[in-house]
Structure 1
Amino acid sequence: MGYGDDVTARVRALAPALSDRARAAEEARRLPDETIADLAATGLFGTLVPKRFGGAELGFATMAAACREAGAGCASTGWLSAIYTLHNWMVALFPEKAQEEVWAERPYALIPCTLAPSGTAEPVDGGHTVTGRWSWGSGVMHADHVMVLALVTAGGGIEPRLFLLPRADVAVHDVWHTSGMRGTGSNDIEVAGAFVPAHRSVPLADLAEGRSPGSRVHPGVPYRTPLVPVFALAGAAPVLGTAEGVLARFRARMEGRVMSYTGERQRDLMSGQIRLAAATADLRAARLLLEDALGAASGDDAADLRRRANARLAAAHVVATARRVVNDLCGAAGASTQLIDSPFQRAQRDVNTISGHVVFDPDASYALWGKIELGLDPGPVNLV
């Protein structure tokens, strides 16, 4: 199976089917099994998996491009495409034994990850006992493993650690009743005193600074890249793709739409032409910003605080641009696009929902960048 541009092309070819399945995914509050199988067949989930485990070991640009294509068809599918692909990269940051266990049978896994510190972990002989309940478990409905962040109290301090558990060790609570992003099935995950061996946990600080155990096993640049910039930028990619999908639908709709009362075709109206052009320019600029930030997010100096803050700035700006364009185009496309069968209203609800993710908060992201750019202390609790 080829990778690189081939993966992006295969996901692009799949996008119409993803669009056709979007309403069913929304109503089921999870992706169809056939969508998971189709995405896996494109090779997307293995793009960031090391070659020694059967993956492609590519950079983040390929992943982002493919997830934009998935998002153009269905925002929920695009988001889970990014989640599953990114979390396979995160497995490569764990100790080698954990990687061998997760990828023993195939070169990818289906793993949700929640980074809110909603649990605790008690040190025990050979590892930790983990307890807690976590919200926002995107991808848990098809999961074979999960990753959760828990706080360890040891040596007079508190250490956040990421824990990797098999799906059998967790309970899933059906709470995902939302207005948007319904197809992600982002239900709650509960762990009730499960033992996690030492090789299945990593200090969050090691991941945040690009010095994880996996960085010492795999020499490739992606495995020395800090977590938060990649998470923010990878998550922004399908949101941008959703906006690009709305733009394509808006253009197609303009061609045949006749305005009520006046009988004019929307394609002949200057207002429609201006909206089309402005949205095109905005999304092109957002794509270039995303691609530039992805290129700068990895490398030997990727742990530099300014580079990390720049990724947060870019991701938040890309998502804010996508949201504004989607809402503007949906407003200009007419009231009939709010019918429940319309992909316009679904994309609008989805983008408005995902824009609320903490990593995309524009005020926090802009302020964080401004503090660091001006040489101020960003404070101890920042996603950077």
Structure 2
Amino acid sequence: MNNTTPTSVELVARAEALRSQLWEDAPEVDRTRRLTDRNFAAMRDAQLMQLFTPRRFGGLAADMRTYFEVTAALGRGCSSSAWVAGVLNAGNWMVAQFPEEAQREVWGADPLATSCSILQPTGEAEIVDGGIKLNGKWGYSSGSNHCDWAIVAYPSPNAVKPEMMLALVPMSDVEVEDTWFVTGMRGTGSNTIVARDLFVPDHRVLPLMPMFRGDNLDAPDAVHRTALAGVLPVSLMGSQIGAAEAALEFVIEKAPKRQITASTYSVQAQSVGFQVDLAEAATTIKAARLIGQQAADVLDEHAGQSHLPDETIRSGLRMDMAWAVKRANEGVDRLVTAHGTSAFGEFSPLQRIWRDTGIATRHAAFNIRISQEIYAKALLGLNPYEISFLV
């Protein structure tokens, strides 16, 4: 690894170069419910887990557009691998919001260290001398099989100032319960992290809401001036759009070789009905990509100006990204129907992509109804925070 910071184009090319390996390992990732060691190592060694690590610790502090393009490229090979890359980079983005002492603990000895994060406040803490004593269980911890640190949420035990807090803890100090048994995105390792009477020093404790309010606008690297509500959906969106694009390529490749049963068409490619489905799916997926790119660009533009977008823009971005993931899923669904029943054979990558996008589009970050309510309230001059803190 040289000391020259790679360009966005180079990073996307590195992700594209891993596609065939990720695609080859994807069935095993799905079957074993975890990334293969070689997939994770390949992404790490290509610096694709350092996208949001601060430059002063040897990271890349890349922009949001690069982040989106890299995860989309990885998603064309394996959506679970891309999801984990997105989540762990987002975790590192959050670590960069902690005090300098905490950042040095994470990256001082290991610039390649990664972090997962869980914002559901299912833990509890007791204030003790020099920090807190933490107990709790945090489910859906994507990337827990491969990360070095975890950021977990808990309600502040300070009754005078109630707020949601975050604790940064080494994975060596917690347990991971194998609880992620689902039909899609099986390889993300979204298991349950358990802490029992764990001491967390004050410098590894942080309130959550300042990350949404723009309190980070003086961060040294531009990308760390983005609001967390923008980072979170981008972290997951690229993997799904990339997966949909992979499904499209697969169906196009097979169309000149597959016949349509009980019809006079010797191959699918001759059928006007198939052509219409293909064109509709391709356009839907392309629209999802364009919306995703635009959302990332808007976040970069404001971060570069050290400016927090207003509530209407932020609410619109959440809506846009939920819409993009929903459209990617719809595109996959149309492709599976056009391809035919064999798409659901266990030998077919389409059934895996169909399951993956079906699960991902139902993630809380992409709840389309909640996103619509938030955006509509902002457009009407009402309070979107009545619906969710993810604005």
Instruction: Give TM-score scaled by structure 2 length.
Output: 0.94
After the TM superposition, which of the residue ranges 128-137 and 104-113 deviates more from structure 2?
104-113
The DSSP-based 3-state class of the residue aligned with 1:49 is coil
Q: Which residue is equivalent to 2:18?
A: 14
Judge conservation of contact 2:88–2:147 (CA < 8 Å) in 1: no
The DSSP-based 3-state class of the residue aligned with 1:156 is coil
Residue identity in the other structure for 1:128: I
User: Paired residue for 1:46, among 43, 50, 66?
Assistant: 50
The DSSP-based 3-state class of the residue aligned with 2:376 is helix
The DSSP-based 3-state class of the residue aligned with 1:314 is helix
User: Paired residue for 1:289, among 285, 291, 299?
Assistant: 291
Q: 1:381 offset after TM fit, Å?
A: 5.2
Deviations 1:38-86 (CA, angstroms, capped at 9, x unpaired) = 0012211112222111012221111110100111111111111111122
RMSD: 1.5
User: Paired residue for 1:272, among 271, 274, 277?
Assistant: 274
Residue identity in the other structure for 1:100: R
Deviations 1:291-347 (CA, angstroms, capped at 9, x unpaired) = 111122242332421222122111100111011111111111111111112110000
Q: Tell me whether 1:83 sits opposite 2:83 in the alignment.
A: no
Separation of aligned partners in 2, 1:311 and 1:195: 38
Q: 1:349 to 1:312 in 2, by over 3 A?
A: same
Judge conservation of contact 1:148–1:163 (CA < 8 Å) in 2: yes
Number of aligned residue pairs: give it.
Answer: 381
After the TM superposition, which of the residue ranges 137-146 and 259-268 deviates more from structure 2?
259-268
Separation of aligned partners in 2, 1:104 and 1:119: 28
The DSSP-based 3-state class of the residue aligned with 2:61 is coil
The DSSP-based 3-state class of the residue aligned with 1:105 is coil
Q: Which residue is equivalent to 1:247?
A: 248
Q: Tell me whether 1:237 sits opposite 2:241 in the alignment.
A: no
Q: Which residue is equivalent to 1:167?
A: 171
Deviations 1:254-289 (CA, angstroms, capped at 9, x unpaired) = 121122233421111111222222222222222111
Judge conservation of contact 2:256–2:268 (CA < 8 Å) in 1: yes
Separation of aligned partners in 1, 2:94 and 2:186: 25
Q: Which residue is equivalent to 2:374?
A: 368
Separation of aligned partners in 1, 2:378 and 2:25: 43
Residue identity in the other structure for 1:166: P
Q: 1:220 offset after TM fit, Å?
A: 2.5
Separation of aligned partners in 2, 1:26 and 1:94: 34
User: Paired residue for 1:341, among 337, 342, 347?
Assistant: 347
Separation of aligned partners in 1, 2:160 and 2:61: 39
Residue identity in the other structure for 1:185: G
The DSSP-based 3-state class of the residue aligned with 1:46 is coil
Separation of aligned partners in 1, 2:227 and 2:25: 35
Which structure 2 segments of 5+ residues have no match?
Answer: none
Separation of aligned partners in 2, 1:3 and 1:81: 18
Separation of aligned partners in 1, 2:203 and 2:309: 24
The DSSP-based 3-state class of the residue aligned with 1:73 is coil
Q: Tell me whether 1:301 sits opposite 2:307 in the alignment.
A: yes
Q: 1:200 offset after TM fit, Å?
A: 1.0
Separation of aligned partners in 2, 1:219 and 1:110: 20
Judge conservation of contact 1:293–1:310 (CA < 8 Å) in 2: no
User: Paired residue for 2:183, among 172, 179, 183?
Assistant: 179
Q: Tell me whether 1:102 sits opposite 2:106 in the alignment.
A: yes
Q: 1:119 offset after TM fit, Å?
A: 0.9
Separation of aligned partners in 2, 1:304 and 1:193: 40
Separation of aligned partners in 2, 1:123 and 1:180: 39
Separation of aligned partners in 2, 1:224 and 1:155: 30
The DSSP-based 3-state class of the residue aligned with 1:12 is helix
The DSSP-based 3-state class of the residue aligned with 2:38 is helix
The DSSP-based 3-state class of the residue aligned with 1:44 is coil
User: Paired residue for 1:154, among 158, 175, 186?
Assistant: 158
Q: Tell me whether 1:332 sits opposite 2:338 in the alignment.
A: yes
Judge conservation of contact 1:138–1:187 (CA < 8 Å) in 2: yes
Q: Which residue is equivalent to 2:70?
A: 66
Judge conservation of contact 2:370–2:387 (CA < 8 Å) in 1: no
Q: Tell me whether 1:129 sits opposite 2:133 in the alignment.
A: yes
Q: Percent identity?
A: 34
Runs of at least 4 residues of structure 1 off by over 6 A? none
Q: Which residue is equivalent to 1:34?
A: 38
Separation of aligned partners in 2, 1:178 and 1:17: 24
Separation of aligned partners in 2, 1:124 and 1:159: 18
Residue identity in the other structure for 2:136: G
